[in-house]
Structure 1
Amino acid sequence: MSKKIVVIGGVACGGKTAARLRRLDPEAEILILEKGPYLSYAGCGLPYYIEGIVKEYKELMCTPVGVVRDESYFLNVKKIDVLTRHMATCIDREKKEVVAVDLELAVEKRFPYDDLVIATGGSPIKPDLPGIELGTVFTLWTLSDALAMRAAIDNGNVKRAVVVGAGLIGMEVVEALVARDIEVSVVDLLSWPLPNMLDEEFGSRLLRELKAKGVHFYGNEKVLEILGQDSVLTGVKTDQRTIPADMVLLAIGVRPNIHLAEETGLDIGSSGGVAVDEYMRTSDPNIYAGGDCVEVRHILTGKGVRQPMGSSANREGRVIADNILGRGSTFKGVLGTAIMKFFEYTVGRTGFNEHQARKEGFDPISVTVTAPDKPHFMPGAAWMVIKLVADKNTKRLLGGQIFGPGAVDKRLDGLVTAVTGGLTVDDLADTDFAYAPPYATALDPMTQTANVLRNKMEGLMTSYSPRELAAKMDRGEDCVLLDVRTEGEIKLQGKLPYENQVHIPLGALWTRVEELPKDKEIIAFCKISLRGWDALTVLRSKGFHKVAILEGGMMGWPYG
């Protein structure tokens, strides 16, 4: 007898589970219940529909050959039954039935199952604010949200927008709104954008580029009220100012949709998601769960975490289908990997930063390196700043962040693979990355960064990250910043915002080294601090003992 499988939720995890089930078992009876009107759409593409890069919303629902994934597609191509506008309201675990309401007819229906999949996703957090009911206050989580928001922009009445929340969705929409010639302000409780993704240094890099695009950023501020007059939105009131606006996007976070699982008596994890094992099985052996509603394992700690990402949801869906059909696949976990395009820049992270690593019991050490993504003689060569974090005791890689106009994605994926595989700094330095001038430098930027971290761990160099140098300057510590760039570079790239700087080009350092005091610490830097390393060699050979390098150089300096 064929299996009866009911899937609650038909977007990322639910759609993937159903499709994988059909490929593995042509005879299974598969039913998807989806409360919304749209199926299997690319939710992460919604900001690009707002911007107009994606012209028609149906492109987000299409297969690569242009077929819309709707009820007819699932039935005719996949032999999967789908009921949209059907909201599951109850699970009878004893009878193994799902109770759902047909939202069009207001009729309750029951669906038997042998195995059940909960892929109910998440919902955007909507704070209890005065004025939140005004017509041009939006969230951006579903295709319906995107259609409403784009319609409001397309009518030409939105000239100023406030984005509340500087996370991934908020920041992606910032670029979309700027591209639509809308004046944008961002308000966040923390002091830099992407605070859950980036540390202060990398957040400051993004903040600098945000301001360069004319975006107003109001950090450390709390929204108190959305203002309106005659039912028309007019602005946003924070605890420090009033910001004029015609539209507001609430992008302050996502809650997992766990109500159905809770009411059913399934276990909920410590992070607030539905608890599942490595097989994506809940506390009921006949009920699986995946996507934005679940808690999964962090690869570095084994602790339960939530990672509401379309990539994770699709991977989880495959594992669920395999285990329903007895294949024994496991979901290894997540690293918090994320990446975002911001105008001409890309920013990404994986694993832990130093603060997170220390909190989890590691003894972290990091280094920041600025490097080109390909040789300078190749067209399109561009820079990136890489921060690599490892454990001092074991040398195991713990994570990293990358920012710049260069090919960040390629390096980030290499780092994700290394951290997932438990590689050390030495392993990464010795990895056989592909090389040809159109694609990379002879020593890949990741290789360079791993080598610099090895130098630091082995005591071959002392260095300061930009944050460490800024803190040192704020404390008034006496040192000399040695700039070994050329005059032309200084005119083009600017100077550090400190007075205690001496400029001696590297080519002149051998003959002018006596101009530097031996009783003060000398911190050398250049455009990317590669020549800073050469300067250390010169200084040490001349009897200077207190010498260090500014990590990342002038190109890696994140502050104004």
Structure 2
Amino acid sequence: MALNILVIGGVALGPKAAARAKRLMPDANVTMIDQGTYISYGGCGIPYYVGGDVAQMDGLRTTNAGVVRDEAFFENVKDVKAICHTRALSIDRRSKTVLVENTQTGEQSSMPYDKLVIATGSSPRIPPIPGNDLKNVTSVTCLEAAQAIQQQCAANKMEHAVIIGAGFIGLEMAVALADMWGIKVTVIEMLDQILPAQLSYNFAQIAKHDLEELGVTVLCGESVKELKGDENGAVCQVVTDKRVIDADQVIFSIGVTPNSKIASDAGLLCHPRGGIIVNTHMQTSDPDIYAGGDVVVVRNLITGDFAYLPLGSMANRQGRVIGTNVAGGQATFEGVVGSWCVKLNQMYASGSGLTLRQAKAAGFDAIEVSMEGADKAHFYPGHDNASLNIVVDRQSRRVLGIQGMDTDGGTIKARTDAVAALLQSGKPTIDDVSNLEVCYAPPFAGAMDVINAVANVADNVVKGLHKIISPDEFLKLWENRAENGYFFVDMRPTKRGKPVEERHPGEYLSLPLEEFKARKHEIPTDRPLALVCSSGTRAYEVQLKLREMGMDSVNCAGGFTTLRKRGDEEKF
């Protein structure tokens, strides 16, 4: 008898699981239902459709050959019966049926299964604040909402958008609206930085400045209290704990919650904070029911704890595993390390593993080390400085995470992917990254790649050879120099450091590395020293020389390259 495979959800994981199962078990009856109008689309591409990079909405729904993935496509090409406008209401595990409802007619019916796949995804978080139900208040997690916003932009009906939340989608939407449509955009983030779950505080300041250069206003450490409407019931103002902002469009982007209620109601094991718990075969606590994508929690391979990672890439990988297993296979999905990437304005960012905050919360004796290095050979035309941040456990030297930012997205993603592979396969150390074999040619990298270099810096820091401080710590020393007595030494070429010295005589010395031997007597011996150069490398050389002379000092991580990327260079 042919196996009945029923898939609930048809956006990312559902289609992958359904198609994979049908390929491996051609005689199975595979049915996929979804409550929406559109199925099998790239939700992560929504900001790029709104911003014009993807010209037509159907571009998010097509195959590589340009064929739209609709119900007819799955029926005719994949031999999968796809049914839209059908919502799953409940699961009866004893009778192996799912109660469903036609969202257009309200008609209910029962659908049988031998194997069930739950791919119900997630729902956007909407905070319970007054005015959240006003017109022009939305999220952008589905194609219908994206289409409405795009049409509003095209009709010149949007002047000032406020985006609440500074995660991936929120920032991508900010860039799309400001860059393509010239709309005034304000981003409000409750925490003290943007991308709080992904970036170090230092890199978040680089990202913030990159957005501000596009004209986007970024407000961190600020909470939205109320949305006010006009006489037509449309939003017109956003009230925070610090100000009132005019707005004719509000977009919530404060994360999502897993749609796991149907599973918990059926008695399946779920995490207390939501999300279905599955094993490495993506089975739920019922061996005939599988789940994946945004609706599940999985193991974090670094901490061993449960993790929630709502990403389309993970959903697709898990979908293949589930499709294999419902067809009788034994594929596994061991867990995640949390790899991501995002395009901002001129900058691209990527990361994998834990941030410093996350590492400390997980109980590691963690530190982070940042540096700037050429993303290609320094002599090759068109090279730029990549910013890299590595998180390590001080005692074990274990690498826990990596983050990077660059104007070349492919460049920084390649470095991140290399470390992600190490994190996924074991417990890499500083030495593993320092000696990581990567491709080399001047158009692609320096002979000592930046990914190796950041591990070398971490090695020096852990061994006590390099005393490094963050740009924020350096700025604090500078702002409070009258009280703390610090003297600042700049190792950059004279043309860069001398103007700063002239503005701050007696506090700042321009002393290029090449002149150190002849002029070291100019450095005061009775004051604490803070060193800085373009990227941190030249200052490190001087720090070693000063130590030989019995003089202690601190070095600003990333030097003026990082300070410039943050918009802080003018403070000097």
Q: Which range, TM-score by smaller chain?
A: over 0.9
Name the residue aligned to 1:453: 458
| Between 287-296 and 502-511, the greater mean CA deviation after superposition | 502-511
Alpha-carbon displacement from aligned partner over 1:475-517 (angstroms, at most 9, x marks no partner)? 7544322101123334899999998422111121111100112
Aligned-partner SS, 2:293:
coil
| CA contact 1:397–1:418 (8 Å) conserved in 2 | no
Letter in 2 for 1:214: G
Structure 2 contact 7–118 (Cα < 8 Å) conserved: yes
Distance 1:8 1:526, change over 3 A: same
CA separation of 1:499 and 1:47: change in aligned 2, threshold 3 A: farther
Structure 2 partner of 1:122? 122
What per-residue deviation string (whole Å, max 9, x for no partner) do you get for residues 108-144 of structure 1?
A: 1211111100000001112233333332112100111
Pairing partner for 1:485 from 487, 492, 508: 492
Give, in whole Å, the separation in 2 of the partners of 1:460 and 1:495: 32
- Partner Cα distance (1:304, 1:397) in 2: 20
Q: CA deviation at 1:220?
A: 2.0
Which residue matches 1:131? 131
1:262 to 251, 254, 264: 264
Residue in 1 that maps onto 2:559:
553
Name the SS of the counterpart of 1:221 in structure 2: coil
- Is the contact between residue 477 and residue 486 of structure 2 (CA under 8 Å) also seen in structure 1? no
Q: CA 1:478–1:418 in 2, change beyond 3 Å: closer, same or farther?
A: farther
% of aligned pairs identical? 36
**Which whole-Å deviations, capped at 9, do the CAs of 1:161-184 have from their partners, x for residues lacking one?**
111111111100000011110011
- The separation in 2 between residues aligned to 1:495 and 1:44, in whole angstroms, is 50
2: CA distance between counterparts of 1:86 and 1:490? Answer: 67
The residue aligned with 1:323 is 325
Residue aligned with 1:555, SS: helix
Number of the residue aligned with 2:205 = 204
Partner of 1:554: helix, strand, or coil?
A: helix
| 1:420 corresponds to 2:424 | yes
Aligned-partner Cα distance in 1 for 2:464–2:154: 59
Quote the Cα distance in structure 2 between the aligned partners of 1:451 and 1:539.
20
Q: Deviations over 1:289-336 (max 9, x none)?
A: 101111111011111111111011111111112222232221121122
Q: Is the Cα–Cα contact under 8 Å of residues 42 and 61 in structure 2 kept in the other structure?
A: yes
Q: Structure 1 CA distance, aligned partners of 2:387 and 2:452? A: 13
Residue 350 (structure 2) pairs with residue 309 (structure 1): no
For structure 1, which segment, 482-491 or 191-200, has the greater mean C-alpha deviation from structure 2 after superposition?
482-491
Rounded Cα–Cα distance in structure 2 between residues aligned with 1:60 and 1:146: 11
List gaps (5 residues or longer) in structure 2.
none
Aligned in 2, Cα 1:222/1:397: closer, same or farther, shift over 3 Å? same
Instruction: Give the Å deviation of 1:343.
Output: 1.4
Q: Does 1:341 align with 2:343?
A: yes
Aligned-pair CA distance for 1:367: 1.3
Which deviates more, 323-332 or 434-443?
Answer: 323-332
Q: Aligned runs of 1:534-553 on 2, under 5 Å?
A: 534-541=541-548, 543-553=549-559
Helix, strand or coil at the partner of 2:440:
coil
CA 1:496 to 1:129, structure 2 compared with 1: closer, same or farther past 3 Å? farther
Is the CA contact (8 Å cut-off) linking 2:501 and 2:509 kept in structure 1? no
Partner Cα separation in structure 2 for residue 183 and residue 504 of structure 1: 44
Change (3 A) 1:333 1:500: farther
Counterpart of 2:467?
A: 462
1:222 matched residue in structure 2? 223
CA deviation after TM superposition for structure 1 residue 474, in Å? 6.4
1:33 corresponds to which residue? Answer: 33
Q: Tell me, yes or no, if the aligned pair for 1:271 and 1:306 is still in contact at 8 Å.
A: no
Aligned-partner residue type, residue 52 of structure 1 = G
After superposition, the C-alpha distances for 1:434-475 in whole angstroms (9 at most, x for unaligned) are 001111111111011111111222222222222343455567
Aligned position for 1:253? 255
Q: Could you list the per-position Cα deviations for residues 359-394 of structure 1 after superposition, in whole angstroms to 9, with x for gaps in the alignment?
A: 212111321110110023323211111111111222
Structure 1 equivalent of residue 5 of structure 2: 5
Q: Partner residue of 2:93?
A: 93
Whether contact under 8 Å (2:501, 2:510) holds in the other structure is no
Q: How many residues align?
A: 559
Identify if the C-alpha distance between structure 1 residues 326 and 492 changes in structure 2 by more than 3 Å, giving closer, same or farther: farther
Instruction: Give the AA of the match of 1:420.
Output: Q
Give, in whole Å, the separation in 2 of the partners of 1:497 and 1:310.
52
In structure 2, how many angstroms separate the alpha carbons of the residues matched to 1:254 and 1:126? 9
Distance 1:294-1:494 versus aligned 2 partners, 3 A rule: farther
One-letter amino acid of the counterpart of residue 373, structure 2: A
Secondary structure at the counterpart of residue 426 of structure 1: helix
Counterpart of 1:521 in structure 2 is 528
| 1:502 equivalenced with 2:509 (yes/no) | yes
Between 387-396 and 32-41, report the one with greater CA deviation.
Answer: 387-396
Partner SS for 1:336: coil
From the superposition, tell whether residues 189 and 36 of structure 1 become closer, same or farther in structure 2 (CA, over 3 Å): same
Question: Scaled by the length of structure 2, what TM-score is found?
Answer: 0.94
The farther-off stretch of 365-374 and 326-335 is 326-335
**Is 1:408 aligned to residue 412 of structure 2?**
yes
Q: Distance in 1 between matches of 2:48 and 2:528?
A: 50
Contact in 1 for aligned 2:487/2:527 (Cα 8 Å): yes
1:197-242 Cα shifts (integer Å, max 9, x gaps) = 2232121111222222222222222212222222233221212211
Check whether the contact 1:518–1:544 (CA below 8 A) recurs between aligned residues: no
1:232-269 CA deviation, whole Å, 9 max, x = no partner?
Answer: 33221212211111211111221111111121111111
- Is the Cα–Cα contact under 8 Å of residues 6 and 31 in structure 1 kept in the other structure? yes
Q: CA deviation at 1:559?
A: 6.1
Q: Cα distance, 1:75 vs. partner?
A: 0.8
- The structure-2 alpha-carbon separation of the partners of 1:489 and 1:22, relative to structure 1 and needing over 3 Å to count, comes to farther
- In structure 1, what is the equivalent of residue 171 of structure 2? 171
Preserved contact between residue 501 and residue 508 of structure 2 (Cα < 8 Å) = no
Contact 2:210 2:345 in 1 (8 A): no
Partners of 2:52 and 2:200 lie apart in 1 by 31
Q: Is the 8 A contact 1:349 1:401 kept in 2?
A: yes
> 1-side partners of 2:361 and 2:274: how far apart?
20
**Could you tell me whether the CA contact under 8 Å between 2:546 and 2:552 is conserved in 1?**
no
From 416, 437, 454, the counterpart of 2:442? 437
Does the residue aligned with 1:266 lie in a helix, a strand or coil?
coil
Aligned CA-pair RMSD: 2.1
Counterpart of 1:548, as a letter, is V
Ranges in structure 1 where 5+ consecutive residues have no aligned partner: none
